[in-house]
């Protein structure tokens, strides 16, 4: 995975791979939608965001809603890129049999350039320990689903690129 520190680096990377379908993943509040909006301004195309389709089942789990139909409309509407941002992106890609050309994971960095979620997701803790810690902090079903997803799919390791966004700093 390549790590990109700013929007210019990311745009240069995109120009080298010329993707038609870009997915943006990351924890809640990482800056996925901000990044997708910036890419959309510069690249054009279609921007889909999780708020468009997110729903939950009776157990409080995140489930896609009308996702296939929206993606079909977007694919047929333009020869320009489709930029799709969401939590649980690799799961959605798998569930909907999608084939993105470029997957980006947004890592929210502290001002000291440390990954702010690393202690919960990549610090030697097991999935069970992470869930137990989250439960102790009053985590809901969605937060536990996010932890399961990160341990099962490792999006912070398995995406094509990581965009390192420093908290409070925008390109």
Is residue 137 situated within a structural domain?
no
Q: Provide the residue-wise pLDDT of the chain in tens; the chain has 171 residues.
A: 899 999 999 999 999 988 889 999 998 888 999 999 999 999 998 888 876 666 655 555 556 666 666 666 666 666 788 899 988 888 888 877 778 899 999 998 888 877 776 666 666 778 888 888 777 777 677 778 888 888 899 898 899 999 998 876 554
Find the helix or strand (DSSP H, E) in which 158 lies. Answer: helix 155-158
Q: Going by DSSP bridges, is the β-strand pair 161-166/2-4 parallel, antiparallel, or unpaired? A: parallel
Domain with 14, as residue range(s), is 2-112+155-165
Residue 45 lies in a domain: yes
Structural domain total, the chain: 1
Q: How far apart are CA 28 and CA 23, in angstroms?
A: 15
In a domain, 22, yes or no: yes
In a domain, residue 106? The reply is: yes
Task: Dump pLDDT digits (tens) for 42-55.
Answer: 999 888 887 666 66
Ranges of beta strands (E only) in 27-138 are: 46-49, 55-56, 62-63, 82-85, 102-109
Integer angstrom CA distances of residue 23 from 34, 81, 100, 128? 13, 10, 6, 28
For residue 133, being part of any structural domain is answered with no
Determine how β-strand 161-166 pairs with β-strand 102-109: parallel
Q: Does a structural domain hold residue 68?
A: yes
User: What CATH number has the domain bearing residue 40?
Assistant: 3.40.50
Average pLDDT, the chain: 81
Residue 50 gets which letter from DSSP?
G
Residue 52 falls within a domain, yes or no?
Answer: yes
Phi, psi dihedrals of residue 78, rounded to the nearest 5°: -155, 150
At residue 161, the 3 state secondary structure works out as strand
With a CB cutoff of 8 Å and minimum separation 6, the contacts of 123 are none
Q: Is 128 inside a domain boundary?
A: no
């Amino acid at each position: 995975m390549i790590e990109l520190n700013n929007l210019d680096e990311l745009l240069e990377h995109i120009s080298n791979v010329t993707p038609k379908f870009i997915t943006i993943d990351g924890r809640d509040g990482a800056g996925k939608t901000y990044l997708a909006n910036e890419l959309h301004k510069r690249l054009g195309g279609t921007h889909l965001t999780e708020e468009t389709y997110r729903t939950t089942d009776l157990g409080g789990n995140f489930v896609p809603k009308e996702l296939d139909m929206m993606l079909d409309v977007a694919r047929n509407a333009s020869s320009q890129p489709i930029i799709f941002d969401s939590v649980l992106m690799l799961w959605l890609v798998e569930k909907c049999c999608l084939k993105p050309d470029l997957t980006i994971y947004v890592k929210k960095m502290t001002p000291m350039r440390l990954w702010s979620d690393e202690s919960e997701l990549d610090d030697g803790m097991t999935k069970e320990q992470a869930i137990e810690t989250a439960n102790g902090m009053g985590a809901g079903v969605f937060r536990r689903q996010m932890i399961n997803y990160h341990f099962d799919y490792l999006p912070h390791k398995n995406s094509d690129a990581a965009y390192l966004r420093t908290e409070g700093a925008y390109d």
